[in-house]
Amino acid sequence: MTTLAAMASTRQMTLRTVMRVLLEREAVSRAELARLTGVSKQTMSEVFRELEEGGWVRRSGRTQGAVGRSAATYEVCVDRALVFGADVGGTKVQAALADMHGIILTETVEPTDPRGGQYVVDQLARMSAELAHRASQPLERVLVGTIGIPGAYNARTGKLFMVPNITGLEGTPFVEDLRERVDFDVHVGNDVNMAAKGEQWMGEGRNVDDFVFIALGTGIGMGIINERRVLSGAHGAAGEIATLPIGADPYDGRTFRSGGLETALGSAAIRERYEGSGGRSGLTVREIIDRIGDGDTIAAATVDAIARILAQAVLAVSAVLDPERVVLGGSVGARRELLERMEVHLPLCMPSPPQCTVSKLGSRAGLYGTIANSLDLLRDSLFQTPGLDIPMPRAKPFEVHP
């Protein structure tokens, strides 16, 4: 148990407070920051000296053009700490290095190591080192990294699960394994959750406290942002809407494994529906949707049927979560034709549909989400002024007497 002195001393509190204010500004003087924070000018001078000695801030110039003595201005050294983010897919890995402002310094894409398992862990460690080197930055400055994985992570057991697309990761202590290979703090998140976080930072979820990101591609999944934070669920499986009992009978043995909604909306289902209605054989979903523009009425009817089911899924999600916005993504979900048809069906099945938009980030949403997650963790660990670590006691249930 930490004491006030040993935990974050009052001087630490002041240092972190000053850093937080500085992170939002680009050139500030000590006198101005004293006014902003209420800390005395004397103390602020000391604080800036310590921060400067630590490499966190630097002089950036002087004010001019105002009455009175000109002031020295300071800014954050945004490369004093760096973050790593990687979006691991079944076929490729996107990774990037960013500074404290979230500016991406270097990034790369390469095929996921097909051998899977520990080889993917090794690959990530090597990529982070390469990105630091290409940015001409010491690897020691990378303090936090987040990895997006197409599966679920149970924070309690520390194990990955539901990871069918990458060989040799199911049931592994992935975070622990990677932490042994790198010096920075490693976190993992579901790739659709990371995409939701990417939309929150750079996309359609910006400035929205409660929204969902639905990724429709080969299958379907959802990331949930509730009160600005990712909602993971008891076992890390929140948002696995493939199993929603919509569009197919959940008691049917044929849909039991992949789930009602995925059975109805997955790529296989779209192609079957198209071909079963007389459409051409052998087209991909993208090709089917492209044919709407060519006047293929069967393609239009297929997308309309898909949109009608998707509208019910949005209704179900809204009933449970009450999101302000639904962002659609994924190779199929991002098609505007689908959104347009869905917006026709939504008001027919729910009185007040949420706002629906299409992701503009494409396949970069997940990568952005891992960077954003790392930035949040970095800032919390470096600049938060937390309360003391003694938790608020829960109200104990009392004995109920008849």
Contacts of 334 (CB under 8 A, 6+ apart): 328, 358, 359, 362
Please identify, using beta-carbon distances, which residue of 6 and 234 lies nearer to DNA: 6
Among 7, 23, 27, 71, binds DNA (CB under 7 A): 71
Per-residue interface string for the shown chain with DNA, residues 293-332, x marking contact by CB under 7 A: ----------------------------------------
Name the phi and psi angles at 142, rounded to 5. Answer: -80, 115
> What does 42 bind: its own copies, DNA, none (CB cut-off 5 to 8 Å by kind)?
DNA
The number of CA neighbours under 13 Å toward the Cβ of 234 is: 0
Minimum CB distance to its own copies, residue 125 (Å): 25
Minimum CB distance to DNA, residue 373 (Å): 30
Minimum CB distance to its own copies, residue 191 (Å): 16
Cα–Cα distance measured from residue 181 to residue 304, given in angstroms and rounded to the nearest whole number: 49
332 three-state secondary structure = helix
Minimum CB distance to its own copies, residue 173 (Å): 21
> Which residues, listed in sequence order, are joined to residue 225 by a DSSP beta bridge?
211, 230
Minimum CB distance to DNA, residue 100 (Å): 22
E strand map for 331-395 = 355-358
65 binds DNA (CB under 7 A): yes
Minimum CB distance to DNA, residue 209 (Å): 33
Extract the tokens encoding 161.
Answer: 């699960």
Q: How many residues bind DNA (CB under 7 A)?
A: 32
Name the phi and psi angles at 174, rounded to 5. Answer: -55, -45
Q: Are 196 and 224 in contact (CB under 8 A)?
A: yes
Among 39, 77, 104, 350, binds DNA (CB under 7 A): 39
Burial group, residue 194, by CB count within 10 angstroms (0-12, 13-18, 19+): buried
134 binds DNA (CB under 7 A): no
Among 16, 21, 32, 75, binds DNA (CB under 7 A): 32
1 binds DNA (CB under 7 A): no
Cα–Cα distance measured from residue 109 to residue 133, given in angstroms and rounded to the nearest whole number: 16
38 binds DNA (CB under 7 A): yes
Identify residues 12-31 at the interface with DNA (CB under 7 A): 13-14, 29-31
Q: Which amino acid is at 248?
A: A
157 binds DNA (CB under 7 A): no
Among 69, 257, 394, 401, binds DNA (CB under 7 A): 69
> What does 71 bind: its own copies, DNA, none (CB cut-off 5 to 8 Å by kind)?
DNA
Q: 3-state secondary structure string, 238-258?
A: CCCHHHCCCCCCCCCHHHHCC
Cα–Cα distance measured from residue 269 to residue 266, given in angstroms and rounded to the nearest whole number: 5
- Binding interface with DNA (CB under 7 A): 3-5, 9-11, 13-14, 29-32, 38-43, 45-47, 62-72
